[in-house]
C-alpha cells in the first residue's frame, strides 16, 4: 500500500514538473527581445556558410561513398603514428590527450580547411595540423556517382609513455 502511494506521489510530482516547465518555456519564448532573435538568425547563416568552400563548392558532411585515405583507415592510422612528433615542450609539461581536427577532402582529393575542433595546447594542436597537412591526396567522396567535397574529422591522440 505504501509503495502504491509513493509511486502515485512520484508520478504526480513528475507531471507537475512537466506542466510547470512547459508553461515557463512558453513565457520565455514570448519575452525574447528582437535583438536576440536577430542574433540567432545571424548565427544560423554563419553556420551555413561553413558548408561551402571559397570557390563556392558545396561541402557535404555525409555522402554515399565517404573519402578514403590511400590504403584505407589502417594506413591512415599508420601514417599519423609514423609522422607525429611529440613536441618537447608538451612532454615537459606532461600534456597529453586527444586533438580533434577536421578538414575538407575536395573533389580532386586534395585536403583543405584544416581546423582544430577540440584541442589540448597550442603546441599539440599545431603538431596535429602539421601531420594532417602532410597527408597525400585522398580518394574523394562521391554523391550520386559524382565526386564532391566532404568534411572529414580525425582524432589524433597524444599519450606520454
Q: Return the SS3 of 41.
A: helix
d(C-alpha 64, C-alpha 145), whole Å: 9
pLDDT at position 7 is 42
Burial class of residue 156, CB neighbours in 10 A (0-12, 13-18, 19+)? buried
For the ranges 32-36, 41-45, 156-160, the lowest mean pLDDT is seen at 41-45
Overall fold of domain 56-158: TolA/TonB C-terminal domain (3.30.2420)
d(C-alpha 153, C-alpha 114), whole Å: 10
Mean of the per-residue pLDDT values for the chain? 79
CA-based nearest residue to 127, from 76, 80, 86, 77: 86
Structure confidence by residue, pLDDT tens digits, 100-125:
999 999 999 999 999 999 999 999 99
For the ranges 9-18, 67-76, 91-100, the lowest mean pLDDT is seen at 9-18
d(C-alpha 5, C-alpha 1), whole Å: 6
CB-based contact 138:111 (threshold 8 Å):
yes
**pLDDT bucket at 54, cuts 50 / 70 / 90:** confident
* Beta bridge mates, 147: 142
Mean pLDDT of 91-108: 96
d(C-alpha 9, C-alpha 49), whole Å: 50
d(C-alpha 58, C-alpha 62), whole Å: 12
How far does Cα 136 stand from its chain's mean position? 22
Amino acid at each position: 500500500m505504501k509503495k502504491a502511494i509513493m509511486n502515485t506521489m512520484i508520478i504526480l510530482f513528475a507531471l507537475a514538473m512537466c506542466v510547470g516547465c512547459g508553461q515557463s518555456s512558453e513565457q520565455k519564448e514570448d519575452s525574447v527581445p528582437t535583438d536576440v532573435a536577430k542574433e540567432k538568425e545571424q548565427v544560423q547563416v554563419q553556420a551555413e556558410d561553413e558548408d561551402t568552400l571559397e570557390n563556392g563548392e558545396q561541402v557535404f558532411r555525409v555522402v554515399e561513398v565517404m573519402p578514403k585515405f590511400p590504403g584505407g583507415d589502417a594506413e591512415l592510422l599508420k601514417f599519423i603514428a609514423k609522422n607525429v612528433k611529440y613536441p618537447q615542450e608538451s612532454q615537459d609539461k606532461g600534456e597529453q590527450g586527444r586533438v580533434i581536427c577536421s578538414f575538407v577532402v575536395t573533389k580532386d582529393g586534395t585536403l583543405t580547411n584544416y581546423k582544430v575542433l577540440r584541442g589540448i595546447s597550442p603546441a599539440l594542436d599545431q603538431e596535429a595540423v602539421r601531420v594532417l597537412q602532410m597527408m597525400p591526396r585522398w580518394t574523394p567522396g562521391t554523391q550520386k556517382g559524382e565526386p564532391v567535397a566532404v568534411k572529414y574529422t580525425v582524432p589524433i591522440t597524444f599519450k606520454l609513455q
